[in-house]
Structure 1
Amino acid sequence: MHPVSSEQHTFYTHDATACEECDLLIPATALAVGQDSCCPRCGHTLSRHLAHPERQPIAYGIAALIMFVLANSFTFMSFSTKGVGQEMSFIQCISTLVDQGYLFLGALLSLTLIGLPLVYIGSIMLVLWRVDKELHSHALRSLGRLLCRIKPWLMVDVFLVGVLISLVKLMSMADIKMGLSFWAFVGYTLMLIKMMASLDRMWLWQRLFGPTPAREVTSDASAMACGLVGCHVCGALSDAHEHLCSRCGSHLHSRKPGGLNRTWALLLTASILYIPANLYPIMDTVFLGDDSPSTILGGVVLLWAMGSYPIAAVIFFASVVVPLVKIMALFWLCYMVQRNHIDSPLGKLKLYRMTEFVGRWSMIDVFVVAILAGLIRLDNLMTIYPGPAAVAFAGVVLITMIAAMTFDPRLIWDLQQGERERE
């Protein structure tokens, strides 16, 4: 559709855009291979010119698909104690949850570990493979929007850390062996991470549909103050009265719809779920007929007593501290914006970035429970079941992630902009 010359491979000029985190207008910028374009006000990375931007994602995608097939073709982990053993395939982590009636957890693992990653890989490969061939523009736009929206929900790296933590928990109980599928899953995770890192969002949209019309922008003003709006999907600038982006077809909003009310409601829901997530058992171990339920804090105490101090610290931090701190941090940010506190906007933005980054890692404990429930099923000797807190805790993680997405960090900078205009 838009053939690229060798000079364009060496230099790439991204369109004028607005920073999605502080709304500052950014003029068109020429980048050499290896260079980044960052917002001068908040430091957010806008675009990155990578070497071979078309070939690398396809190569990593093919490698990831091969690793995924291998990860489902052999034994993932094996567990043996007192002459009794059990093998588990990767897919059994999910099927066991479904068989035991935990459909929500089974669907969650299916989407974050299999469905969405495969859709992401397939969409990138299809878009880049057909970039110079005829493919309906509506299909290209739909696939491009899909890529941007599902990326935060890919959790194969979090699951891999959960596997390693499960190993520490099991080593004191039995002999554990890692199968070929485990090493293939490590490769699948690494290739998927490399694939995501090798694709630049703004480059992709410019490559698919060409540059947007040139605009002379003021580099020290916000887009909203200049009657413009930046697309949150492709970065294209449009006039504020337009409702759809002319390049990617996304709905345009100067600020995320719903304001703070949606974020407040989600945080309140997460706070309510946080209570049963910590009071009820997240895992139930049946050993020789003896039922031993364990809460999140109980599991941390057990690991600490076993001498696994680093793992106990990771679980405590990821499953207890992070969700609570994230809820409190988002509550505080919403309160500061609502009360029109304009001090230290960059500090508030860094706090928001931290909460958005660490939120998904709280899913580690849910994945650990899924792995143990799928592996330890030794009938009358020992069996592990997910507890009711697993569903509540998964809800806390998902809802706080959505709450962070609904919070608009540009509201922080609007307060400062308003103060300047009054002066």
Structure 2
Amino acid sequence: MEPLGAATVFLVICVSCLLFFSAWRKRSGSGKLPPGPVAFPIIGNMLQLNVRNLPQSIHELSAKYGPVFTIYLGSLRVVVLYGQEAVKEALIDQGDEFSGRGKLALADKLIKGAGIIFSNGERWKQLRRFALTTLRNFGMGKKSIEERIQEEARFLVERLRNTHERPFDPTIPLTHAVSNIICSIVFGDRFDYEDQKFLTLIKLTEKNNEVFRSLLGQEQQNGQSEFNTDNLVRCTLDLFFAGTGTSSTTLRHGLLILLKYPEIEEKVHEEIDRVVGRSRSPCMADRSQMPYTDAVIHEVQRTANIVPMGVPHAVTRDTHFRHYIIPKGTTIFPALQSVLHDSREFPKSEQFNPGHFLDENGAFKKSDFFIPFSAGKRICVGEGLARMELFLLLTTILQNFTLKPLIDPKDIDITLVMSFVSNAPKPYQLCVLPR
């Protein structure tokens, strides 16, 4: 071998050894990190993970390494919490330590820690407190917000009626309806469905969601005040991007489920007719008298499992958790899917069954395993609004229409399309028949 060639090979070997040693040092640390698969230099565990179905890879790793384990997404260290006990212990019992927001490279680059979702520390505390207070003042959980949703539900019904029983994709009308509710809250009024500014906003929202669903989603101050223009604009956008996508996708999944199981739709129709009737709009006070409908909506959320790995958390300090020490700043994946699909709480958890939320007398049954909005200090700030939207929009649609599939219900595919960070139903069409 030529001397130059031998030197090159020697250099490559030395660099490789250094990289492996660096990876080993990162893995071992003080010897107290949770266990996990051996990570390669630079790429971490990416070759061992199915990035298009990360929840499945996480499930398989949990079977080998237990409910708390470590993986590396490139150079990013991630501790995964798998199962209800581990998620609850971290996010609720040790809520302060696990209240940081984990890193998403694209979010770090574009958002730079502004707004509610991706901020940390005092900024996050101030903006979250401000958002919750403002939403309450606007009436979240109170009559004024309920009236806004009821108003939008009536516009949605009229739009669906104008399909004249022809097939249509429900994605656009549901997205527009949910977005308009947020417009009504933020701007004080709704938009016409054909308004060009509104349609532009919707397109930007959809583009934002597409980017953050992709693999790329891993990769001005005013003194001490966090209430500057950047943060306030970002808070508003957070409401649009987070609220619009999740609620409209959940509703789409719900309609597809009802097309698949017409006997479930019929039971919801019967409960709506008995409790609400046809002469007035459904209201939130009706929910306590409609246990079956409430159970169906909960089961829709459970099986939709929109963000299966949860939005990443981070530990705010070196944290003792079980038998391990998790270094400050480590990203945490609370695997919500592992809780929502726990077979101990939800027998045959992969099947759609409203009985998961009903007791032996047919009354609604709460579950500590129902955490589609996450849990603890970082629980979704719009949870109350989303719950109202799902109940009022779905019941208003079913009060006015019977859903008609274009194919035999037994042939309807309710399998979710999975991306790196979120789930969604496959595109479909349906007809709505006036009742």
TM-score range, shorter chain: under 0.3
> Could you tell me the TM-score, scaled by structure 1's length?
0.25
Q: Give the TM-score normalised by the residue count of structure 2.
A: 0.25
